[in-house]
Every structure is written in structure tokens, then in C-alpha cells.
A and B are shown apart, each in its own frame.
Chain A
Amino acid sequence: MLNQFVLTLISGVFIGGISGYLGTLMLSKKMSIVAGPLAHLALPGVALALIFGFSISLGAFPFVILGAILIWILEKKTNLPMENLAAIIFAFGVGTALLILPIGKAEEALVGNITKITSQETFMTVILSVLVFYIIGRIYKKMVLMNIYEDLATIEGVNTSLYNLLYLLSIAVVVALGVYLVGGLITAALIAVPAASAKNISKGLLCYKLSAVMFGVISAVGGIVVTRFIQLPTGPAVIVFGVIIFLISIIFHKKSY
């Protein structure tokens, strides 16, 4: 079973890293609130996958990507704030999932099953993580600028609508990947917690990005290694690691400012 463990570890490193990186862009409330609902939107897809016995990734991806595009279109058309739209998407995801998902099978959808990941799925995870890493790297500075003030980005010639779409799609891909590791319910935490810890200890952007990626990787590896020796679910253990790092970062936060 060593092979399976290595696969788990590899995908954990990549999912943890990319989640941490993506999370650093969720600088404002408006942004950080989107990942949660998208994660819940994966649930009906995961439910379908479990019922019909195909790979969870195949179930989660279309739902999450569709959700991202839906939020993007609705925001353009209705001018409703993103958090409102996210609440609607959230309700839809949880509602439909509970409608079709047998309660007995719910656990896998809730807490993930990275310990059963196949080599194919690991390969996919690595490829997609690298792709998202590249996209986020390209749009990063202008996304920060949009976060601060959208007009500033517009005057710099940024197509804000296109950037928002790329950003939402990146979240969607990372969320779909995260469903493996920690499950639909706490994927959002995997994105938010490392970035929050990094924010506590960073003065500038570079330190912020690097430490968020690092914290994401440490949480993932920590959770995976510990649950190999102790019989506990891996996903929640990853989050516990993340939160421990966060608590430590608070101490440093008080010291440095």
C-alpha cells in the first residue's frame, strides 16, 4: 500500500499548495465567500458519482464549473452582490444533494477520499494544479488591484469581466480537486485557512504568497501522514492542521505589529 500512500501524498501536496495560493486572492469578504457555495455545489455531482459508481471528479467538475459560470453571468446581468448569488447557489447545491444522496453514502461526499486516489486521478490533479497555478500567476496583480478598487484596474486597461471569469473558473477547478482531499463541506476552509494564517505573518505580497502555499502544503502533508498511522478521516485532519497553523500565526501576528 506504499504506492497508494505516495499517490495520496503527491496529490495532497499539489491540492494543498494550489488552494493556499488561490486563497491569497480572496482578500475581501466578497471574494472569500464564493468558494464555500461552489464547494457545496459539488455535492450533487459527488452524489451522482456515488450513486452511479463513476469517479467523483467526473461528478464534481461539471457542477462546479457550471456554478462558476452561473455566478459570473448572474453578477453581470443582475448586479446583485456576489454573496447573494453565492447564497442561492449554496442552497441549490445542498438541496439537490440531499434530495438524491442516500444518507449512508454521505460521508464520502462530506469528508473526501484522497486515500483511495488512483494514479490517473493523481496525474489529473498535478496537471490541473499546475495549470491553475499558471493562470493565477498571470492574473494575480490585476486581481489584487481589482480587489482594492475596480476602476483603478479599468484605467490600467484590465478587462475586469474576463479576469473575474478566469478567477471563478480557477476557484471551481481547485474546489473540484479539493473535494477529494477534504470533501465538499470543508474545501472552502482549505482555501481560506492557509491564506488567513499567511496574512497574519506577512508584511508584503511575496511573503504572503509563499507562506500561504507553504501552509497549504504542510496542512495537507501533516493530515495525510498522521492519519496513515492513526485511524482518522484524512480530510478533517488536514483542516485541523491548517487551524493549528492559524493559531500559531496569531501569536506571531501580535509580536510583529
Chain B
Amino acid sequence: MLLEVKNLNVSLDREEVLKNLSFQVKKGEILTVLGANGAGKSVLLKTLLGFLPYEGNVTWYEKQKIGYLPQGLNQLRVKDLPLTVFDFFSLKNLSPTREELESFLKLVGLEENILSKRAGSLSGGQFQRMLVAWVLVSHPNVIFFDEPTTGIDIGGGETIYSLLHSIWEKEKLTIFLVTHDFNIVYKYSTNVLCLNRKEHFCFGPPKEILNPEMLKQIFGKEIKLYEHH
């Protein structure tokens, strides 16, 4: 057991976002968090990271080295900054050496000459790969990815996920993933946690719990399923 969450309640601005949530995560699992917009997916991740106040129990059984790729960290944030990719990595607490960086960039499929390019001038896919490297370079054993493929075209998104999957296999990581991509959910997740605001959640392996009715409950009527690719 790595993480146990029991009767978790989280409120933002006096509004209950998460209510009576319980689930467990074992070492080396991939937990996918599903839910409509506003269901509290990012709130859950931030709570587990210790950024938000909560009631209930959140127990980490070992001290973990955590990596986090927040939602909304898109390229617009660095578009106009005079920041090379190397500069961007040097902002980390323990800034990695050039050799270390080059090996991690290679791991995510980037050329080393990218280090001297402006972070804002990379393509969307390159930028996202760079962010994955940014998270990995600190050698975390638990990673939180909050919609890591936002703003990337479908093909690019799939490469990112297969990249994550191969790294996950190699490094025996535990991954918390927020995504809307059902393909990914079925293909890679150990467990799925689905959220909506009405004290209703489901938790279990994707093939067992993700039936059309359950999805209808989570996302509401207007979402037609399996149109995601």
C-alpha cells in the first residue's frame, strides 16, 4: 500500500467539492481520475499534494519523492520570456547537470540541441515532452499528471502517453493521471476513480466499472461516449 484515502472532504470557498471520498493506491499503479469539468479532479490532486486543507485521512505509507505537472501549464506561459530550455531547467531546486539533462531529453525523445532554443519557440509536442523531462529529471517515484496533453493534437497526445507508459514500466513509478482520453484509461490504468460533485464516486479497474451507465452518471447526458479516440 502506498496511499490510503479515507472519508476525504474538501471544500473551496465554503462549497463542498469532494465528499466522503475513499480509495487506495498501491506502489507501481496507475490511477486515472475521471470526471466532468468542475468535478474536483485537480482539487483532488492538489489535496493529495498537500496544497489544500481537507478533512478526513490522507495517509502516505512511505516518504515519497513527488513530481507534478499541473494543469494549464501550457506554452503561452513562457511564450514571450527570454528563457532557453536550459534556463528553464536551471530554475529547479537542484538544477541538473548538462549531461543529466541531455540523457533525460533523449529519454523523452528530444534532441540535445534543443537546450539552447527558446522554450517559447518549441512546438507544442516538444514543449510537452520537455515538461515530462522536467518532472522526471528530479527522479520522483510518484508522479501527478494533470491533463498532460492539453493543447496537443491527438497524435502528439498518444505519443506522450506511450512515452509515459514506457517510462512507467522502466522506472516502476506510481502515477496519478487526470485525463479525458478514454483510450488511455482503458489501455493503461490500474484503477479508475471517477468523481462528480454529488457524493457519488466509483473506484475500480476500468474494465469492471466503466460501463455506459456509470459514465452517464459521471458526465451527464449530453456526453456521447466512445467518440473520443
List A residues at the B interface (Cβ < 8 Å).
Answer: 27, 141-142, 144-145, 147-149, 151-152, 154-157, 198-199, 202-208
Contacts and interface: CB of A to CB of B under 8 A. Distances in A.
A207 B68 contact: no
Interface string B50-82: 010000000000000011101011000110111
B82 A148 contact: no
Given A149-B77, A157-B93, A208 B51 contact: no
Interface residues of B, number: 24
B91 A141 contact: yes
Contacts of A199: 80, 82
A154 B52 CA distance: 12
Nearest to A195: B82
Contacts of B66: 155
16 contacts: A141-B90, A141-B91, A144-B83, A148-B77, A148-B78, A149-B72, A151-B51, A151-B70, A151-B73, A152-B73, A202-B82, A203-B84, A204-B86, A204-B87, A205-B84, A207-B82
Nearest to B73: A149
Contact of B83 (A154, A155, A156, A204): A204
Given A157-B93, A204-B82, 20 more contacts: A27-B81, A142-B91, A144-B81, A144-B91, A148-B91, A149-B70, A149-B72, A151-B46, A151-B68, A152-B73, A154-B51, A155-B68, A198-B82, A199-B80, A202-B82, A204-B84, A204-B116, A205-B82, A205-B83, A205-B84
Interface centre among B72, B82, B86, B92 (most CB of A within 10 A): B82
Contacts of A207: 82
B49 interface: yes
B186 to A, nearest CB: 29
B70 A152 contact: yes
Contacts of A154: 51
Contacts, number: 56
Contacts of B86: 204
B78 to A, nearest CB: 6
Nearest to B146: A151
Interface in B102-127: 116, 118
A156 B93 contact: yes
Contacts of B90: 141, 205
Nearest to B134: A152
A204 B66 CA distance: 28
A74 to B, nearest CB: 18
A256 to B, nearest CB: 11
Contacts of A206: 87
Nearest to B71: A151
Contacts of B80: 199
Which are the 9 A-B pairs with shortest beta-carbon distances?
Answer: A202-B82, A208-B82, A204-B84, A151-B70, A205-B87, A145-B91, A155-B68, A141-B91, A149-B73
